[in-house]
């Protein structure tokens, strides 16, 4: 194999080892740590990761062939054979970003036992618990963007990052990202991780898109809010320039062409301050490619596709922190009025987009500069471009217990 020729002298990795390496790297383990654990060269690890698909396909084929051949040696098979083969199948599934649930794994175990002609085996809950414990398996679901992250793209970005940051001070390195907000909804239906997850439906009427901009030292720009109405009734007597946010109207409240206006406005501010800055941005469809070289004082650099859950500072705790603060204002409002209303759903109907805008502004102000700067460092955006561990990040879910308690009280009053 190509990976064998690139490995350290005398070192041979089995197919099972390679599948394990792929799985561990997908889970976030560094190439350096894998090199040490398996006692092989860095180049070999990179080749294994690069050959992900070929290795997993070979593993699957071999597992299938072994299942047939083992039927002839069924007398030597025991329950441990089922355990081992199920674990190999589980690793294969995980390497393809498939997260088998309990019933699926138990059904597969029963199928393996039948192929091995093992009598008396039963995939009971007790057996399954022991199997999970033996292999140190905890239920971890593939989550959103993280499941699509390309390890090679992440590593490549980290290698290029020092050159990207080389000509900028920390206060001149910014990140912009959008998040969606159903501004009348309870926490479990509040902010989404990405602005474009919802496409229509009744909920879109109470949905805004919020764009946030911050730099590596914790400095924040005013939030940018996009909603469907140009002049909502609650804005009567108020000019949009008087709002604590930058307000845009758009038919479906999604952020598209407005990005030109947003970055253009930001560029004008940087011209006034005589600053040249770097703006890191998600490589999303609503972010036109020609943003890269369009502005005199703002250089736009896109993250590689499908990597922001690992690389983007705003995705590494800042937006979550902001979300918690927004929920606090929303729930406090509902609880303050709940005693005088028939139900909390009636209270929710009194919330206006102006209320939401004010809470968005307050929530963004509540995010501490040190929380922002730590998330930038976690993304590797430091003077030496050396990332810190996640343990250095302030818990973004501040007061989450209080919010859950408030949430429970509201549900008791019939809000859904």
**Residue 379: inside a domain, yes or no?**
yes
Q: Which of the pair, 239 or 364, is modelled with greater confidence?
A: 364
Please tell me whether residues 378 and 240 are part of one structural domain: yes
**Residue 405: inside a domain, yes or no?**
yes
Tokens of residue 80, six digits: 């441990």
By mean pLDDT, which of 116-120, 278-282, 357-361 is the weakest?
Answer: 116-120
Tokens of residue 54, six digits: 């070929």
Please tell me whether residues 111 and 7 are part of one structural domain: yes
**Residue 252: inside a domain, yes or no?**
yes
Please tell me whether residues 30 and 176 are part of one structural domain: no
Q: Give the total number of structural domains in the chain.
A: 2
Answer yes or no: is pLDDT of 130 > 70.
Answer: yes
Answer yes or no: is pLDDT of 202 > 60.
Answer: no
What tens digit of pLDDT does each residue of 79-111 get?
Answer: 788 888 888 887 776 655 556 677 778 888 999
Q: What's the rounded Cα separation, in Å, for the pair 145 and 196?
A: 13
- Other C-beta atoms within 10 Å of 339: how many? 8
For the CA atoms of 318, 322, 325, 329, what is the dihedral angle to 10 degrees? 180
Enumerate the β-bridge partners of residue 191. 181
Q: What is the DSSP string of 194-252?
A: STTS--SSGGGGGEEEEEEEEETTS-BPPPEEEES-SS-GGGTT--GGGSSSEEEE-TT
Residue pair 207/195 in contact by the 8 Å Cβ criterion: no
pLDDT, mean over the chain: 76
Please tell me whether residues 94 and 46 are part of one structural domain: yes
For residue 99, the model assigns a pLDDT of 60
Residue pair 222/355 in contact by the 8 Å Cβ criterion: no
Residue in 265, 268, 273, 272 with CA at minimum distance from that of residue 247 = 265
- Other C-beta atoms within 10 Å of 57: how many? 13
Please tell me whether residues 113 and 250 are part of one structural domain: no
**Residue 29: inside a domain, yes or no?**
yes
Please tell me whether residues 126 and 215 are part of one structural domain: no
For residue 254, the model assigns a pLDDT of 52
Is 0.75 surpassed by the pTM of this model?
no
Among 146, 177, 193, give the residue marking a domain's end: 146
Among 146, 175, 204, give the residue marking a domain's end: 146
Q: What range does the domain containing 36 cover?
A: 2-146
């Amino acid at each position: 194999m190509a990976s064998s020729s690139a490995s350290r002298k005398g070192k041979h990795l089995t197919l099972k080892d390679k599948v394990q390496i792929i799985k561990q790297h997908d889970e976030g383990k560094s190439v350096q740590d894998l090199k040490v654990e398996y006692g092989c060269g860095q180049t070999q690890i990179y080749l294994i990761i690069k050959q992900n698909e070929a290795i997993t396909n070979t593993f699957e084929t071999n597992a299938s062939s072994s299942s047939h051949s083992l039927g002839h040696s069924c007398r030597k098979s025991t329950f441990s054979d089922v355990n081992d083969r199920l674990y190999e199948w589980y690793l294969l599934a995980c390497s393809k970003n498939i997260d088998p649930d309990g019933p699926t794994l138990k059904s597969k175990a029963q199928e393996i036992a039948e192929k091995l002609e093992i009598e008396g085996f039963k995939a009971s809950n007790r057996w399954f618990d022991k199997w999970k414990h033996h292999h140190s398996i905890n239920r971890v679901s593939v989550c959103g963007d993280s499941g699509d992250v390309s390890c090679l793209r992440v590593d490549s970005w980290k290698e290029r990052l020092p050159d990207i940051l080389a000509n900028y001070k920390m206060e001149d390195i910014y990140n912009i990202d959008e998040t969606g907000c159903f501004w009348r909804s309870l926490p479990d239906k509040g902010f989404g991780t990405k602005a474009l997850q919802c496409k229509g439906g009744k909920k879109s009427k109470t949905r805004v898109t919020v764009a946030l901009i911050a730099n590596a030292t914790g400095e924040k720009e005013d939030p940018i809010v996009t909603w469907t109405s140009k002049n909502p009734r609650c804005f009567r007597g108020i000019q949009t320039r008087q709002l604590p946010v930058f307000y845009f109207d758009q038919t479906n409240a999604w952020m598209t062409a407005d990005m030109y206006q947003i970055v253009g406005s930001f560029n004008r501010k940087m011209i006034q301050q005589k600053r040249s800055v770097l703006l890191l941005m998600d490589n999303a469809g609503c972010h036109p490619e020609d943003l890269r070289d369009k502005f005199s004082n703002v250089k736009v650099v896109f993250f590689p596709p499908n990597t922001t859950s690992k690389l983007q500072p705003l995705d590494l705790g800042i937006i979550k922190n902001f979300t918690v603060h927004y929920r606090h204002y929303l729930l406090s409002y509902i609880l303050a009025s709940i005693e005088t209303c028939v139900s909390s759903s009636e209270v929710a109907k009194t919330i206006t987009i102006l209320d939401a805008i004010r809470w968005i502004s307050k929530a963004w102000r509540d995010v501490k500069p040190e929380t922002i700067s730590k998330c930038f460092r976690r993304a590797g955006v430091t003077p030496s471009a050396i990332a810190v561990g996640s343990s250095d990040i302030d818990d973004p879910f501040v007061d989450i217990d209080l919010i859950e308690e408030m949430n429970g009280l509201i549900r008791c009053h019939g809000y859904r």
